[in-house]
Amino acid sequence: MNLRVVITGAVMVVLALGFFFYMGSLAPRSNDPAAMMRTVGEVSGAEGAIGIVMVAFGLLRRKR
C-alpha cells in the first residue's frame, strides 16, 4: 500500500467537498447561480473523482 497516494487522494476528496459547499453558500449572491453551481459541480466532481482513483490505486498497488 502506498500511503502517500492514499492520503493525498483523501485530502483531495475532502477539499472537493469543502469547495462545493463553500461555493454553494456563495451561489445566492451570484448573477446566475444555476450556471455557477453547474461549473462548481463539474470542477469539484472531477477533483473528487481523481481523489477516489488515487485512493483506490494507493490501496491496490504495492510499494516497490
Quote the pTM value: 0.85
Please check whether residue 26 is in contact with residue 37, taking contact to mean a CB–CB distance below 8 angstroms.
no
Q: How many separate domains does the chain show?
A: 1
The parent domain of residue 22 ranges over 3-60
Q: Give 2's pLDDT tier (boundaries 50, 70, 90).
A: confident
The contacts of residue 26 (CB under 8 Å, 6+ apart) are: 36
- Assess whether pLDDT exceeds 80 at residue 64: no
- Assess whether pLDDT exceeds 90 at residue 49: yes
Residues above pLDDT 70, as percent of the chain? 95
